[in-house]
Structure 1
């Protein structure tokens, strides 16, 4: 009996050791997972970045046909006897982004010589881009480049530039002279911007066989008249950014209401009513 007691104590002591190790192991694993979870949460919060503001949508999503952007009557007045009254379209891989058209003609005035005129109109449209900026911003930058390029025309004489009021959102008129084919040409180039579209129009003229050189004033007036029509055609383009569907619905509802009111007034003032009968004029 005295021998078995110490032996039993040793067995119980050995049996207790694994239980303690398991408890310690569980405690250690739990603490490790907690640190990992805390680290992941902290890392996730630190890596999140605020979203970049979106750029303003482009106002115009299409361009007009350059060769029909200027009225036929204007073409007849500014380029008499044009070889192609419908104009000659310039090459373009995408007419919704870039397009141009030109006209030229020699008006024979008999013994008074001949008057030669040439006109060209070009459109460039810029889309809004998250990295490059809004279409209007990009168009403004190109507008400045085109003005600088025009003022630096090779061989230009007495080049002068000035703001052109009442044309698009901003416009610049550049006038200069050029000598070609032994004749003096008078030039007027107007560079204008409306929304995200840049319009450049050049108009020039010269007198042949003894005819007088066109006056700078007439050339300038012609260029300004033509580019105003070209810009108007851009603003009438179906691709212009119209109102939202919600606004369209509201507009339709308002028009329906207005129509209903008009119908009601019409019923009240029918031909049977004395007030509705017009008094004949003598």
Structure 2
């Protein structure tokens, strides 16, 4: 009878040991839960702080970026001279001797950005025929603009386009081009012959750039009704002289000296810009310079 009792006692001890082990495991787990919660809380606070800092940094960067918008520098020239007043009486007397005292001013909605003037001369020699001359000057000024670039860079692009257009006139014969020294920052003369119903015309187009202004001078001449054709070399010399005078007038209108050669590089203007003038219309081409009979 003792063995069964001993067996019962051993069973009770085993059961107590198992309950004690389970209780111990429960207590250990219970103790671990607060630690995990605390760690999670700390981690959450840390992440939250990091997010706030990141947000503030992003806001600061955005604000700095907004305040660092590109600064603009105004173009060198802010005005133009009166187109009909860029040439002296002496120069007009040489180029268009029989022209009226005042030229014909072109229409413009903004004379500080674009202007033009033309003169027509017909020297009638009776039965010997007559000598015709036509002179036109166009002035285009470009303002600086952050989207389009510096005024003189825009002017350089337009200058190159004008030269190319002069070289590609329909019906032009014996087209020649040559650079002109001492005339603004860049200048080119394009010469050619152009036959019209009135006669054979000698055309000279001088395109010059000074700072942010482009000057296009068209000058042509013809001997009509049996009169001999004028010398192309003489007409070219007169046209280039007049172009230098127009460049000087632009510089003078903006408070500078003669402006015959500023020496600045066409691509030297890396300064961003202000607001651009409206896109200029092309200067009068020789094909539009119809002969005006007296």
Normalising by structure 1, we get a TM-score of 0.71
SS in 1 for 2:234: helix
Per-residue CA distance 1:46-99 (angstroms, 9 max, x = gap): 5443835535431100000000111122112211211x3210011111111111
RMSD: 2.6
Looking at structure 2, the residues matched to 104 and 169 of structure 1 have their Cα atoms a distance apart, in angstroms, of: 29
- Indicate yes or no: 2:207 matched with 1:185: no
Looking at structure 2, the residues matched to 215 and 162 of structure 1 have their Cα atoms a distance apart, in angstroms, of: 17
1:127 shift after superposition: 0.4
2:167 match? 151
Q: Is the contact made by 1:157 and 1:178 (CA closer than 8 Å) also made in structure 2? A: yes
User: Which of 201, 211, 224 pairs up with 1:208?
Assistant: 224
2:55 match? 40
1:102 match? 118
Per-residue CA distance 1:96-126 (angstroms, 9 max, x = gap): 1111000001111234321100000000000
- Indicate yes or no: 2:98 matched with 1:76: no
2:184 match? 168
1:140 shift after superposition: 0.4
Looking at structure 1, the residues matched to 187 and 250 of structure 2 have their Cα atoms a distance apart, in angstroms, of: 15
Unaligned runs of 5+ in 2: 1-33, 257-294
Instruction: Name the larger-Rg structure.
Output: 2
Q: Is the contact made by 1:128 and 1:135 (CA closer than 8 Å) also made in structure 2? A: yes
Q: Is the contact made by 2:198 and 2:224 (CA closer than 8 Å) also made in structure 1? A: no
Per-residue CA distance 1:127-176 (angstroms, 9 max, x = gap): 01111111111100000000001101111111111111121111001000
Q: What is the count of residue pairs matched by the alignment? A: 218
Looking at structure 2, the residues matched to 209 and 31 of structure 1 have their Cα atoms a distance apart, in angstroms, of: 98
Looking at structure 2, the residues matched to 78 and 42 of structure 1 have their Cα atoms a distance apart, in angstroms, of: 69
Q: Which structure would you say has the larger RCO, counting Cα contacts within 8 Å and 6 or more residues apart?
A: 2
Q: Is the contact made by 2:208 and 2:216 (CA closer than 8 Å) also made in structure 1? A: yes
SS in 1 for 2:178: strand
Looking at structure 2, the residues matched to 46 and 73 of structure 1 have their Cα atoms a distance apart, in angstroms, of: 63
User: Which of 145, 149, 152 pairs up with 1:136?
Assistant: 152
- Indicate yes or no: 2:98 matched with 1:67: no
